[in-house]
């Protein structure tokens, strides 16, 4: 376990900005998710922390130690990639043991066997230890890939979209698994994704990146309820926040150009009339797709209620968010 502090971290690739002036503190034992679209700087940040890339400017501190000039091996971190990166000719047991056989670690054979057994138990793959990697399913291969990081007991785990190549059910299963593993280890974990569901369900803290800059850092709830910009508001929440011109409703603050309403914050029963365009019954809730003066709005409704296409319901904003012409939040 370790606290990680980034101070004004910057990296360019030619004229392209990888990351620009990123500063944040990852608390000891936290599960931090870096969230953003492709090209936002998530993977570059991870590679800078790991030592696979060298920063042009700025500092990386781990438990009070500046690791900027240390090699990846000296930083005591383990990285899990999107690709499984397993040795196909080796068994699961040998794949898990491989990092411990490094001449740097010099781990005794009995300690290797003990650690492999412990990690296999945690990942629930003990019954697969004698199987070749090629005989595993996609979910099992990713578990082994994660296991290769776990056996080392590093100070920090770095994971670069490890679930993105799996199907929806496996992603859901492994999200639960990763949270369980994190809770049992109490480890510091930095996780990169563009999937907001992964960020909302797994993270203790979320860092939202845009074009190489860290634009907001906080707990998932803080960022969901108090985004500091239109961009951040749109990164968390499914269905996405409704964004409308501010003049659709009354009583907006000065300088506001847009109003944002989370689907659950569209109050029904009074206000302006909106037309029901589509109804989605999802079991525990009903999702309504409406139009109001030509603007699309999504909201949620009582699943016991019946809504007919083409009918009108009255809606009004509840706890709206307001933004100025530059997309910045007006509080």
Whose structure tokens read 């009583």? 251
In the DSSP assignment, the letter for residue 70 is: S
Whose structure tokens read 């790991």? 50
Q: Kindly report which listed range (82-86, 96-100, 147-151, 256-260) carries the lowest average pLDDT score.
A: 82-86
pTM (two decimals): 0.88
Q: Is 95 helix (H, G, I), strand (E, B) or coil?
A: helix
CA atoms of 256 and 326, how far apart (whole Å): 10
Sign of the Cα torsion 174, 157, 220, 290 reads negative
The per-residue pLDDT for 180 is 84
On whether the 4-235 domain is CATH 3.40.50.300, my answer is yes
Q: Which regions of the chain carry the CATH code 3.40.50.300?
A: 4-235
- Do the beta carbons of residue 155 and residue 63 sit within 8 Å? yes
Name which CATH class applies to 242-330.
mainly beta
pLDDT, tens digit, 9 for 90 and up, residues 300-321: 998 988 899 999 999 999 999 9
As beta bridge partners, residue 321 has 260
Q: What secondary structure does DSSP assign to 312-328, as a single string?
A: EEEEEESS-EEE-TTSB
Q: Which regions of the chain carry the CATH code 2.40.50.140?
A: 242-330
**For residue 11, how many other CB atoms are within 10 A of its CB?**
22
CA atoms of 248 and 317, how far apart (whole Å): 10
Range picked from 33-42, 84-93, 104-113, 169-178 for highest mean pLDDT: 33-42
For all residues of the chain together, what is the average pLDDT? Answer: 91
CA atoms of 314 and 294, how far apart (whole Å): 15
The per-residue pLDDT for 143 is 84
The per-residue pLDDT for 245 is 96
Does residue 82 register a pLDDT over 80? no
Secondary element (H or E) of residue 222 = helix 220-225
Q: Kindly report which listed range (102-106, 197-201, 226-230, 297-301) carries the lowest average pLDDT score.
A: 102-106
Provide mean pLDDT across the span 257-263: 97
Q: 168-185 and 138-150 helices cross at what angle (nearest 10)?
A: 20
The per-residue pLDDT for 187 is 86
Which band of pLDDT confidence, cut at 50, 70 and 90, is reported for residue 76? Answer: confident
């Amino acid at each position: 376990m370790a606290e990680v502090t980034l101070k004004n971290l910057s990296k360019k690739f030619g004229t392209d900005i990888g990351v620009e002036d990123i500063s944040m503190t990852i608390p000891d034992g936290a599960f931090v998710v870096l969230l953003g679209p492709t090209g936002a700087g998530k993977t570059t940040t991870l590679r800078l922390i790991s030592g696979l890339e060298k920063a042009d400017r700025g500092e990386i501190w781990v438990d009070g130690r500046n690791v900027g000039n240390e090699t990846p091996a000296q930083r005591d971190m383990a990285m899990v990639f999107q690709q499984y990166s397993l040795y196909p000719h080796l068994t699961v047991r040998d794949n898990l043991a491989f990092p411990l056989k490094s001449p740097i670690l010099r781990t005794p054979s009995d300690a290797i066997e003990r650690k492999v057994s412990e990690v296999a138990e945690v990942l629930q793959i003990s019954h697969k230890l004698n199987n070749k990697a090629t005989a595993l399913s996609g979910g099992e291969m990713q578990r082994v890939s994660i296991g290769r990081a776990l056996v080392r007991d590093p100070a920090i785990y770095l994971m670069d979209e490890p679930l993105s190549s799996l199907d929806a059910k496996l992603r859901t299963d492994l999200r639960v698994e990763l949270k369980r593993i994190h809770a049992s280890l109490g480890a510091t974990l930095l996780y990169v994704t563009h999937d907001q569901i992964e960020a909302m369900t797994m993270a203790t803290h979320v860092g939202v990146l845009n074009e190489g800059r860290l634009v907001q850092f906080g707990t998932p709830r803080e960022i969901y309820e108090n985004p500091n910009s239109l961009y951040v508001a749109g990164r968390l929440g499914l269905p996405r926040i409704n964004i409308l011109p501010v003049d659709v409703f009354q009583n907006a603050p000065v300088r506001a150009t847009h109003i944002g309403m989370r689907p659950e914050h569209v109050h029904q029963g009074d206000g302006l009339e909106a037309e029901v365009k589509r109804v989605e019954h999802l079991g525990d809730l009903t999702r309504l797709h409406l139009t109001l003066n030509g603007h699309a709005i999504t909201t949620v409704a009582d699943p016991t209620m019946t809504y007919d296409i083409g009918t009108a319901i009255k809606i009004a904003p509840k706890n709206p968010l307001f933004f100025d012409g530059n997309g910045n939040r007006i509080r």
